[in-house]
Amino acid sequence: MTQENIRACIQTLSSKIPSEALPIIKLKLENADDRLAEILINYPYKSPLMILLLSIFFGGLGVDRFVLGDIGLGVFKLLFGWITFYIWPFVDIFVCFRKAKTINLNNVMKILNEFNIR
């Protein structure tokens, strides 16, 4: 992959995946085909910022968990989050932000594995 495409991919991924994973992704992209850049740039990632805002404003209702795909935890948080005096929804703000980045990293690794990049 060209350096320009690598830079574009890293710039796209920098706010979407954990920062400690960026050097590993960069190394993997150096051995990749240029077609992969377009796939990685246009992939529909979950926005950690959107998840953060949903957690802050609607976390007590479990909306952040629903968006992340944790339907069971979303329902449980909706019904029982108030029992913890809203400590659980407050802590979950940080957990959901990190989980969104982890989900995105897993999706990137899945794409790289489909292209047989090691």
How far from chain centre, in Å, is Cα 91? Answer: 18
**Domain spans, the chain:** 3-114
pLDDT confidence bin for 14, thresholds 50/70/90: very high
Mean pLDDT of 60-67: 94
pLDDT tens digits, one per residue of 83-103: 988 899 999 999 999 999 999
Residue 116 pLDDT: 76
Residue 118 pLDDT: 65
Residue 31 pLDDT: 86
pTM, to two decimals:
0.91
Note whether 47 and 100 are within 8 A (CB).
yes
Which residue type is seen at 113? N
